Amino acid sequence: MNLRPPVLVTLGDPAGIGPELVARAHLAGELQDAVVVGEPAVLARGMRACGASTWPEPAFISPDAVTAVSGGVNPGPVASGRPDAWGDLAWGVVDERCGAYAARCLRAAVELASRGQGRAIVTAPIHKEALAAAGIPFPGHTEMLQAWSNPGGEPPAVRMMLAHEELRVVLVTIHQSLRSAIESITFDRVLQTILIAQRALQAWGLPRPRIAVAGLNPHAGEGGLFGREEIEVIAPAIAAAQAQGIHADGPHAPDTVFMRARHTAQRPGAYDAVVAMTHDHGLIPMKYLGLDQGVNITLGLPFVRTSPDHGTAFDIAGRGVADPRSFLAALAMARRLSAGR
């Protein structure tokens, strides 16, 4: 009997491709060690989008059951309620019900993982506008995970990493305007990001990872001609990391460092990861490599959390054409990173 805690899977926004991605993973036999935190009626939307008329249900746990039961949760099947639940919901729409549902499921999964009743969380995509419409005071998964993972205590310092077989990127700032992101780039935040990246890479079996730190300005500031953040903030943080024995260097020009760090069969990369200052600086090169193998990993949490490297894809939701490869890669990464748990 396998007594290990399961991988916890959330369905994401019911109007997006999340239910279909989870359905395809289940139909492929990839959820045998997993529990879906959600309702069968939502997964049924994805099953129907895949063209399945009948299917064996995976293990479910209702998010409401998590908050109602203290001291433990039965991970077995849970009744789905009305079979026509969500029947009036169109695909590809912003709906406050979807935002509220996605947040409730995530919070339940965090509660389970925090109790040790889940060894990892894999999240299907959510929609930020739906979250806002529901009054959820967080712009995305990362911020909710940070806020809910240590209730009553200091929120952990977390960072977003995007991992691809050819490149890894860790972000100093994420879901905020570019203007506020630039104002958020401080010595402490850059140094903390380097330290978090170092610990994550070491946990993956790289005893002395090579970390490239990208600059903020064109040509990394060109000696102060195009901005002084590199001189006054980023370079001192790199020096502080080096003083702690970390193999980090830079700041590098952000328009070339990702090319140098990329690992291919023809040319090993010069770095094991790149620290990027802003969301789009880091994610544009990652997503250019393709969404089929990219995985979003939240570093700094007390449990493993991964997700696919794409959004809800409202334009194709419900048509049965969503590519599940990034979601399957997120499942595989969650199992790999939680192997010792």
- What is the pLDDT averaged over residues 156-160? 93
Is residue 296 assigned to a domain?
Answer: no
54 and 128 share one domain: yes
If DSSP codes are grouped into helix, strand and coil, which group holds residue 82? coil
- Looking at residue 188, its pLDDT comes to 97
In DSSP notation, 192-253 reads HHHHHHHHHHHHTT-SS--EEEE-SSGGGGTTTTT-SHIIIIIHHHHHHHHHTT--EEEEEP
- Looking at residue 256, its pLDDT comes to 95
Q: How far is CA 171 from CA 57, 92, 163, 266, 286, in A?
A: 37, 29, 12, 27, 12
Enumerate residues 6+ apart whose C-beta is below 8 A from 249: 211, 212, 213, 238, 242
Is residue 332 assigned to a domain?
Answer: yes
Closest CA to 78 of 63, 98, 89, 88: 63
Give the Cα separation of 336 and 295 in Å (integer).
13
Is residue 341 assigned to a domain?
Answer: yes
Give the Cα separation of 315 and 321 in Å (integer).
11
Q: Of 3-17, 48-62, 68-82, where does mean pLDDT reach its minimum?
A: 68-82
46 and 148 share one domain: yes
121 and 217 share one domain: no
If one counts the domains in the chain, the total is 2
138 and 7 share one domain: yes
281 and 307 share one domain: no
283 and 313 share one domain: no
32 and 180 share one domain: no
Give the Cα separation of 287 and 284 in Å (integer).
5
Q: What pTM value is reported for the model?
A: 0.87
8 Å CB contact between 99 and 130: yes
- Looking at residue 85, its pLDDT comes to 63
217 and 280 share one domain: yes
Interval 164-215: pLDDT, tens = 889 999 999 988 999 999 999 999 999 999 999 999 999 888 999 999 999 9
- What is the pLDDT averaged over residues 3-13? 92
Dig out the tokens for 150 from the structure: 């240590």
If DSSP codes are grouped into helix, strand and coil, which group holds residue 141? helix
Is residue 85 assigned to a domain?
Answer: yes
Is residue 293 assigned to a domain?
Answer: no
CA diameter of the chain: 64
Domain limits at 273?
167-288
248 and 175 share one domain: yes
- Looking at residue 78, its pLDDT comes to 32
251 and 333 share one domain: no
Interaxial angle between packed helices 40-49 and 18-27, expressed in degrees from 0 to 180 and rounded to the nearest 10: 80
Interval 232-251: pLDDT, tens = 999 999 999 999 999 999 99
Q: pLDDT at residue 83 above 80?
A: no
Interval 236-292: pLDDT, tens = 999 999 999 999 999 999 999 999 999 998 999 999 999 999 999 999 998 888 767
If DSSP codes are grouped into helix, strand and coil, which group holds residue 187? helix
Is residue 159 assigned to a domain?
Answer: no
Q: pLDDT at residue 89 above 50?
A: yes
Is residue 194 assigned to a domain?
Answer: yes
- Residues of the chain with pLDDT > 90, as a percent, come to 77
Closest CA to 65 of 104, 97, 12, 21: 104
Is residue 160 assigned to a domain?
Answer: no
Give the Cα separation of 137 and 339 in Å (integer).
33
Q: pLDDT at residue 79 above 50?
A: no
Element (H, E) at 66: helix 63-68
Beta strands in 11-50 (DSSP E): 34-37
CATH of the domain at 202: 3.40.718.10
40 and 145 share one domain: yes
213 and 115 share one domain: no
pLDDT category of residue 45 using cuts at 50, 70 and 90: very high
Closest CA to 156 of 298, 28, 12, 333: 298
